[in-house]
Structure 1
Amino acid sequence: MKITICDDNMKDLARIEQLIANYRTLYPGNDFELEKYTDPSLLFRKIQEKRLSDIYILDIIMNGTTGIDIGTLLKDSGKNAVIIYTTSSDDFALDAYGVHALRYLLKPVQEQTFFEALSFALTQKNGVKDPIFPVKTKDGLISVPFSKIEYIENSSRMLRIHLTDRTAITSIFIRKSFEEEIKELTREKGFMQVHKSFLVNFSHVQKLDGTSIIMNSGADIPISKKNTSNVKRQYLLFISSEYR
């Protein structure tokens, strides 16, 4: 697996290199070939020559050629490369999502956040495909696999994404409505908004209990009264389709 780091700040580049070394120590089964650039124009030319890596860890704000420029070139190259962005500003999150970046990490990059991002990048490169739900958090843009979402709660105008491992990710303050934020998920089989403040993944439902849904984690999710019969109908349709 070939990983390329590009950052015109030597200190930040060294930080990422050290985090990769720490990851190797913790997960010794991973074999990485590492390539480093402090001049983004050199990396840009190499990509133009189709000499490509598997994973790119790119600073966004660099002199001349930016990380977004490199990401756009990678997107157009036809290579299924994974991009992880690092930056000192959260102003470029939408640009990063536009080039299909896997993660958007704010500096100083924290070890736990980086390890999660690299693990997910390796999963993607090893052929395990799962649609992702991008969540903008105070620590950066996190892409959550659909299959890992148990339910999502709208809490004080913030999304709280509850995962199957019983952890949770909290977004920053959302400007759109809850319905708009979860629209992409509701188009997918098995996801349904059951209450004005809750969306559930039917794959992780333990049972329907009157006017609520009991999740595998034990969470008790309310169903809005006007939606009760429809939720039951959709859940039964989902179950029947799963066991055909």
Structure 2
Amino acid sequence: MPNQARAPLRIAVCDDEALDRAQIAQMAQEILRAEEIPTEIACFASARALLHAIQTGGAFQILLLDVMMEGMDGMELAAALRAGQEEAAIVFISSNREMALRGYEVAAARYLAKPLDAEKLREALLHCCAAYLQPREIVLPTSEGQSKVNVRAIVYVEPWDRGVRLHFAHKKVEVRMSISQVAALLQEHQFAYCHRTLLVNLAYVRHLRYCELELKSGERLPISKYRLAQFKSEFMKYLKA
């Protein structure tokens, strides 16, 4: 993967075992150096230490988390971060394989088993890097003029009197475009129609039911019976990606 002219990729390694923590950090550093991806890696000995770092302004694009840790475990940490709208890619690394099925609850990118396999870690890191290196901003005509919009922060899109309304975690932005025009701009990202007039970012979906979906915020949106099969297929594809 070629080097990109952007800030270094920031990775957090969180494991309460010092040897495992050092090994994971070293392997990740060597893999990304070979791929010519500038990287900064920070190590944390507890989930609470990493949570505090993020809550006080620390920014990471990838989190490599052990699951079984004293006190707050990796799953609890991931749930707390997602509840706070943290978007970093999460890769769990653990000897407890039974916990792997819970990874979907926090939209984990990968679940790797200990002892850690270098090739599997490489695949997981490059998968996460692809999302990070993908362009995140598009320019849209809003009430304030031509505005840059962070694609990954869009939760869903719905119709508006003069176009569409983009819903974010803490704001709404109105855009003078049709929903099909916006969908065309988002086709390279993880969006899918749950209804003819509702376009949803799959990264924000918590549960999928027969006639509705629940977002991570708790908000519920209807699913058209004509869209259900396709939406379910795209959601499952997203979870397995």
Pairwise TM-score range, normalised by the shorter structure? 0.5 to 0.7
Aligned to 2:176: none
Q: Does residue 1:114 correspond to 2:121, yes or no? A: yes
**Deviation at residue 126 of structure 1 after TM alignment:** 1.9
1:1-244 matches, within 5 Å, as: 1-28=9-36, 30-127=37-134, 187-188=233-234
Distance 2:120 2:10 in 1: 20
Larger radius of gyration, structure 1 or 2? 1
CA separation of 1:98 and 1:184: change in aligned 2, threshold 3 A: farther
Residues 50-108 of structure 1 deviation map (CA, whole Å, 9 limit, x = unaligned): 42311100000000011111111221222321000000011111221100000000001
Distance 2:92 2:109 in 1: 8
C-alpha RMSD of matched pairs (Å): 2.4
Distance 2:123 2:231 in 1: 22
What runs of 5+ residues in structure 1 fail to find an aligned partner? Answer: 132-182, 192-244
Residues 179-212 of structure 1 deviation map (CA, whole Å, 9 limit, x = unaligned): xxxx778745xx9xxxxxxxxxxxxxxxxxxxxx
**Deviation at residue 25 of structure 1 after TM alignment:** 3.5
2:72 aligned counterpart, secondary structure: coil
Between the aligned residues of both structures, percent identity stands at 26
Q: Which residue identity does 1:116 align to in structure 2?
A: E
Superposition misfits of 4+ residues, deviation over 4 angstroms? 128-131, 183-186
TM-score norm. by structure 1 comes to 0.51
C-alpha contact (below 8 Å) 1:71/1:99 kept by paired residues = yes
Distance 2:39 2:111 in 1: 21
Q: Which residue identity does 1:90 align to in structure 2?
A: R
Distance 1:97 1:69 in 2: 13
C-alpha contact (below 8 Å) 2:79/2:106 kept by paired residues = yes
C-alpha contact (below 8 Å) 1:50/1:77 kept by paired residues = no
CA separation of 1:101 and 1:53: change in aligned 2, threshold 3 A: same
**Deviation at residue 17 of structure 1 after TM alignment:** 1.3
CA separation of 1:42 and 1:26: change in aligned 2, threshold 3 A: same
**Deviation at residue 15 of structure 1 after TM alignment:** 1.4
TM-score norm. by structure 2 comes to 0.52
Distance 1:106 1:184 in 2: 32
Q: Which residue identity does 1:13 align to in structure 2?
A: R
Distance 1:82 1:27 in 2: 18
Distance 1:100 1:91 in 2: 17
Residues 14-49 of structure 1 deviation map (CA, whole Å, 9 limit, x = unaligned): 111121122134212x11111101122211222333
Q: How many residues align?
A: 138
Distance 2:230 2:100 in 1: 18
CA separation of 1:127 and 1:19: change in aligned 2, threshold 3 A: same
